[in-house]
Amino acid sequence: MEPAIRFFCTFLILIAFQAQAAVMDITSQVEMGEAAASVETAASVVFNRAGAKELARGYTELDQWFKISLHNDQDSVQSKVLYFDAPLMGRLYLQKQGEPGQRSSGPGLPMAERAVQSRFGAFPIELAPQESATYFIKRDSHHALNTRVFLADPSDLEHQDDLSRTIFYFYLGGIFSLVVYNLLLGLFTTQKDHLSYSFFAASFGVTALVLHGVFDSYLLPNSKFVFSNYLMFFSSVSLFSASLFVERFLSIKKEFTVGYWGLRLFAALSVVTMVGSLFAPTYRELFFLGYLIDISIGAGILFFIFCGFYSLIRYGHRLASYFLLSWLVVLIGTFIWFASIHGFITGNIYTQYSLLLANLGEMIVLSLGLAYKIRVLDEEKRQAQQAAEDKERYHRLVRVLSHDVANTVSGLLYHSEMLKDHVSAQAADAHLDRINSSTNKLNQILKSVRQEEVYHVFKQNAEMQRVELASACWEAVNHYSWQIEEKELLIEVAIANDLCVRADRSALINQVLSNVLSNSIKFCEPGREIRLLAQKQDDCVVLEIRDQGTGIHPNEVGLLFKRNKLFSHKGTSNEEGTGFGTSLIAEYMQLFGGQVEVSSVHHSVSPASGTTVKLVFPAVPD
């Protein structure tokens, strides 16, 4: 791992070093002027020495002109490339003083029409020994100007183009992956926030690629449609998508009045500039729209950050922290870019594209925020489902306690009152028998309630272990020994001593086997047989409990283990139950990783009635 890391770091350092190739920044030597779009020659243009590290001009309906004087003090011919490092230079036209004709270049033209095959506005320059030459360059673009001017060897410019292409494709791959991943999540899940994020990330990604001339220079280099001419349109779409995304991501409602209506204001402004941008490349008089979209984006960013802080402080919105962190990444990238432009830090390929990389970092942070939101929502959904299950469970218990227990207690009260009126031994014995029966029924109800509670406690704290099946079955059988003796039932346990299953021993015996055996005993006539057989089949262990009881009606077999279809019948000796135990068998088997199967022949169908319950466990490795 360490050699790979060292290699990667060395590779990055090498790229950064190579990006400092020998190029000459001649920005401070450039003279600059302006003229109407109809002016074709520099004769009527008034030039002034810029004397700055950067050539800058706001939006205007005028064309910019540049005057550049060069001198070759060598005794050999010098072949150089003159280029502007801004990707929004538009269409450039170069005239050499004293020579007729002009050459065209710049990102505002298809690649085939550019003097140099580069994403930058570049021209080849050739100076004879000791030659001095003056060049005039006209810029035709409705974009604001912010550029530096360099003189470099052709190989240096080509190398910089290669590095730029690598970074752009890296950025494109990252954005594309985030967009597609979140788009699919949004389409195939209920989390529709991912759709607004994918729209937001796609619009910002496209805008960034248009801003850097990637579409016009690399993706569609020979298209007659110039994407950079419509940067204002893509920027407007980005502002619109950002307004929608911020509202959904931060869950901004009408209660947050300023945020709710502020986001709608920025969305409306973006629609205005979106429509106007379609005409701006042709009608230069609409240059003011450039200021409008820039101000809207700047104000929008500040407003989005305000919404993030408000949501975090006012509502404790955890996602707001991810939102603010994403903007921190952007601000760091902006600071690095600004510092490199103004010479506070050394410029290289990374500082030049720090805004682009910061945008990718922003999208990754926001995507992590959405992933966190999914985790939170899943946890909330799990808690809601648990709450719904608990609610249903307590409703069932209330029904049992309010109905069955109430009826049983009423019976006890009735028969105890009758004892007061009938003091003869015969009458007293009859009522005492009924009181005993009611007491047994009440005991069964309370036992079912306890079983229900035991299951839910076990479900939360289940610890599986290796359980010997034969030992567990004998323990369950011994628990019902007095009922078996009273009904004179025959019990057979044919299970190998070394056959094991994975389960909780206590739950297996007291909740699963006991419930199955109690039902078999309950519905068997005296003298009948109950058999417990087990064997290993493929990758599972099957325990069969067969009885010769009265059987289950065909219409009730499919309802045995449904919690919302509880039913109970009296046994052959008038034993009573609530039906709760049967419904828990399937749930415990599910926790054990197994299942339960039932087949039965009802006594109304055939005299050879009986029921077979199959408990299927996953096989335990030897």
* Under 8 Å between Cβ of 69 and 51: no
Note the pLDDT of residue 129. 92
Distance in angstroms (rounded) separating the CA atoms of residues 203 and 239: 9
* Under 8 Å between Cβ of 532 and 473: yes
- 445 class by beta-carbon count within 10 Å (0-12 exposed, 13-18 middle, 19+ buried): buried
Distance in angstroms (rounded) separating the CA atoms of residues 214 and 164: 9
Structural domain contains residue 131? yes
Distance in angstroms (rounded) separating the CA atoms of residues 586 and 563: 10
Placement of tokens 């800058």 in the chain:
56
Distance in angstroms (rounded) separating the CA atoms of residues 194 and 273: 26
Same domain? For 274 and 346 the reply is yes
What average pLDDT does the segment 248-272 reach? 91
Note the pLDDT of residue 19. 42
pLDDT band at 38 (very low <50, low <70, confident <90, very high): confident
Q: What is the CATH number of the domain that holds 47?
A: 2.60.40.2380
119-143 pLDDT per residue, tens: 899 999 999 999 999 999 999 988 8
Note the pLDDT of residue 431. 62
pTM here?
0.60
Task: Name the percent of the chain lying above pLDDT 90.
Answer: 23
Note the pLDDT of residue 80. 93
Distance in angstroms (rounded) separating the CA atoms of residues 30 and 149: 8
Q: What is the CATH number of the domain that holds 570?
A: 3.30.565.10
Same domain? For 172 and 277 the reply is yes
What average pLDDT does the segment 551-556 reach? 84
Note the pLDDT of residue 164. 85
Distance in angstroms (rounded) separating the CA atoms of residues 1 and 313: 42
pLDDT band at 13 (very low <50, low <70, confident <90, very high): very low
Listed residues 152, 183, 212: the one ending a domain: 152
Same domain? For 141 and 164 the reply is no
Note the pLDDT of residue 529. 93
Structural domain contains residue 275? yes
First to last CA, the chain: 38
Same domain? For 277 and 369 the reply is yes
Q: Which amino acid is at 97?
A: Q
Tokens describing residue 451: 């079983």
Placement of tokens 């058999």 in the chain:
531
Mean predicted lDDT score pLDDT of the chain: 81
Element (H, E) at 267: helix 257-277
Note the pLDDT of residue 423. 53
Q: What is the CATH number of the domain that holds 218?
A: 1.20.1070
Same domain? For 126 and 181 the reply is no
Residue 306 structural domain: 158-385
Same domain? For 96 and 76 the reply is yes
Note the pLDDT of residue 415. 61
Least confident of 196-205, 370-379, 408-417: 408-417
Residue 229 has pLDDT above 50, yes or no: yes
What average pLDDT does the segment 451-465 reach? 63
Listed residues 90, 119, 152: the one ending a domain: 152
Structural domain contains residue 586? yes
**27-57 exposure pattern, b = at least 16 Cβ within 10 A, e = fewer:** bebbbbbbbeeebeebeebeeeebeeebbee
Q: Which amino acid is at 246?
A: V
Same domain? For 111 and 142 the reply is yes
Number of structural domains in the chain: 3
566-616 pLDDT per residue, tens: 556 676 666 655 445 677 788 888 888 899 998 889 888 888 889 999 999
Nearest one of 538, 556, 541 to 600, comparing CA atoms: 556
What average pLDDT does the segment 388-414 reach? 61
pLDDT band at 204 (very low <50, low <70, confident <90, very high): confident
Same domain? For 503 and 592 the reply is yes
Least confident of 93-102, 342-351, 373-382, 574-583: 574-583
What average pLDDT does the segment 529-549 reach? 92
Element (H, E) at 453: helix 425-461
pLDDT band at 4 (very low <50, low <70, confident <90, very high): very low
Structural domain contains residue 425? no
Placement of tokens 């050539």 in the chain:
55
What average pLDDT does the segment 142-160 reach? 89
Same domain? For 137 and 200 the reply is no
Pick left, alpha or beta for residue 574 (phi over 0 → left; psi -120 to 50 → alpha; otherwise beta): left
Same domain? For 347 and 223 the reply is yes
What average pLDDT does the segment 527-555 reach? 90
Listed residues 368, 385, 402: the one ending a domain: 385
Nearest one of 524, 519, 514 to 487, comparing CA atoms: 524
Same domain? For 33 and 84 the reply is yes
Same domain? For 147 and 84 the reply is yes
Residue 348 has pLDDT above 70, yes or no: no
Structural domain contains residue 442? no
Structural domain contains residue 494? yes
294-329 pLDDT per residue, tens: 889 889 889 999 999 998 888 887 888 888 888 888
pLDDT band at 3 (very low <50, low <70, confident <90, very high): very low
411-436 pLDDT per residue, tens: 565 666 666 555 566 666 666 666 66
Note the pLDDT of residue 435. 67
Structural domain contains residue 3? no
Tokens describing residue 586: 């399937």
